[in-house]
Amino acid sequence: MKALARRVIRQVSGDKRTVAMMIVAPLLILTLMYLLLGGTDYTPTLAIDQNALPPALYTALEKQDVTLNEITMPDNFDAKSFLSDNRNVDAVFSVSQAGMSVTAYEAGSKSGAALKAIQSAAAELNPSASMETSFVIGSSDESTFDSLGYVFLGVISFFLIFIISGMALVRERSGGTLERMLMTPVARRGVVAGYTAGYGLFAVIQAVVLVLFTIYALGVPCAGNVAWVVLTMLLLAVTAVAFGELISIFANTEFQVVQFIPIAIIPQIFFSGLIPLDTIPYHLGDLGYIMPVFYGSMAIKAVMRAGSGFGAIWPYILALLAYIAVLSALNTLALKKYRKI
């Protein structure tokens, strides 16, 4: 087992592309997601008719972080046509006897920022109508990336480790290395343990780098002990190695490993905590309890978001350990068909 693990480590270390895929690629993906889903200093543009607005409301709007585009709105003014012709405007705001009206080109972050400015201005005029919102976990000011960073950590790590380990083992088999190895007296469980230990070393490195980069470089808040996040990431990565080994045994080519992604990986993303399980209809959310990414993501969420310790995450840790044990046993059993002697 030790010799096999050392060979895997030397082989992966000598392949710069594989190392980049395991270490550099997830950092680039996380950075891109941070830029796309992180906080923004975008200032929305709001079209108004100053003469039709109460002076106090206009003054309150001026205090908001919004650009006011003053136009004239006649009785036959069509806000939808105006927005279609003026794509630099995010929303049209008007006041009539029927009340306040907001028309936006499409639902999204830009129109949401314009609506937030209007609500803030209205609350300034009538403080009794304003509503204070607080959260047990997180805050209203945090970005989408801050609130879902734990999901990205688990999913990216699991996906990349699965791809690399699965394809590498298919290459080992297609090159005849696995068959020659199994022709020796080495035990099948030793082969599985050797591959798992070899790729597990890089899983440790990836887990540490990803967690530290996410927390200290991207600034995602971590309310609990970082060590528990690293431990969970490590167990999730080892689970991905074992899962990749199992898939590779039933794949004849590297392309067939990729064909397993829609079945083996994509469903896990949907049940990773990205969507609350209890909001999925027909009790389909219960499928998340059979997917390893769910347990890893929930443990990371408990530590990073709620500040929980081992007492709260041990069921998730135990579930990942059970997955590793079951997958390793299945891999050992599946290798039997390649044993020639």
> Do 124 and 236 have their domain in common?
no
> Do 279 and 327 have their domain in common?
yes
Out of 66, 96, 129, a domain closes at: 129
Domain assignment of residue 66, yes or no: yes
CA distance 71 to 83: 12
> Do 202 and 301 have their domain in common?
yes
Q: Which residue has the tokens 């080519």?
A: 253
> Do 191 and 93 have their domain in common?
no
CA distance 295 to 155: 11
Domain assignment of residue 136, yes or no: no
Q: What is the pLDDT of residues 300-310, one digit of tens each?
A: 999 998 899 99
CA distance 315 to 38: 31
> Do 104 and 237 have their domain in common?
no
The length of the chain is: 341
For residue 60 the two structure tokens come to: 């309150």
**82: CB partners within 8 A, 6+ apart:** 47, 71, 89, 92
Domain assignment of residue 95, yes or no: yes
Q: Which domain holds residue 14?
A: 2-37+143-338
> Do 334 and 212 have their domain in common?
yes
CA distance 303 to 285: 22
pLDDT at 297: 92
How wide is the angle at C-alpha 65 spanned by C-alphas 62 and 69, nearest 5°? 55
**69: CB partners within 8 A, 6+ apart:** 45, 46, 47, 48, 86, 89
> Do 33 and 55 have their domain in common?
no
Domain assignment of residue 135, yes or no: no
Please write down the HEC assignment for all residues of 233-245.
HHHHHHHHHHHHH
Q: What pLDDT tens digit does each residue of the chain (341 aa) get?
A: 666 677 677 777 777 887 788 888 889 988 988 888 877 778 899 999 988 888 888 899 988 989 999 998 888 889 999 999 998 999 999 888 777 889 988 877 788 888 888 888 888 887 765 566 657 777 767 778 888 888 888 888 888 888 888 887 777 666 666 556 655 556 667 767 777 787 778 888 888 899 999 999 988 888 899 999 999 999 998 899 888 888 887 777 778 788 888 888 888 888 888 888 888 888 888 888 999 999 999 999 999 988 999 999 999 999 999 999 999 888 888 776 654 44
> Do 152 and 211 have their domain in common?
yes
For residue 235 the two structure tokens come to: 């167990």
> Do 33 and 58 have their domain in common?
no
Helix or strand (DSSP H, E) at 100: strand 99-104
> Do 162 and 256 have their domain in common?
yes
Nearest to 65 by CA among 109, 117, 112: 117
Task: Measure CA 140 to chain center.
Answer: 19
Q: Where are the alpha helices (DSSP H) in 221-291?
A: 226-249, 254-259, 261-264, 266-269
| Strands 91-96, 45-48: pairing kind | parallel
> Do 162 and 246 have their domain in common?
yes
The answer to whether the beta carbons of residues 118 and 46 sit under 8 Å apart is yes
The answer to whether the beta carbons of residues 192 and 332 sit under 8 Å apart is yes
> Do 52 and 200 have their domain in common?
no
**246: CB partners within 8 A, 6+ apart:** 327, 330, 331, 334
Task: Measure CA 197 to chain center.
Answer: 26
Out of 129, 162, 189, a domain closes at: 129
Q: What spatial distance separates the first Cα and last Cα of the chain, rounded to whole Å?
A: 19
Q: How many domains is the chain partitioned into structurally?
A: 2
CA distances (Å), origin 111, targets 70, 71, 87, 140: 17, 18, 12, 17
Helix or strand (DSSP H, E) at 84: helix 79-85
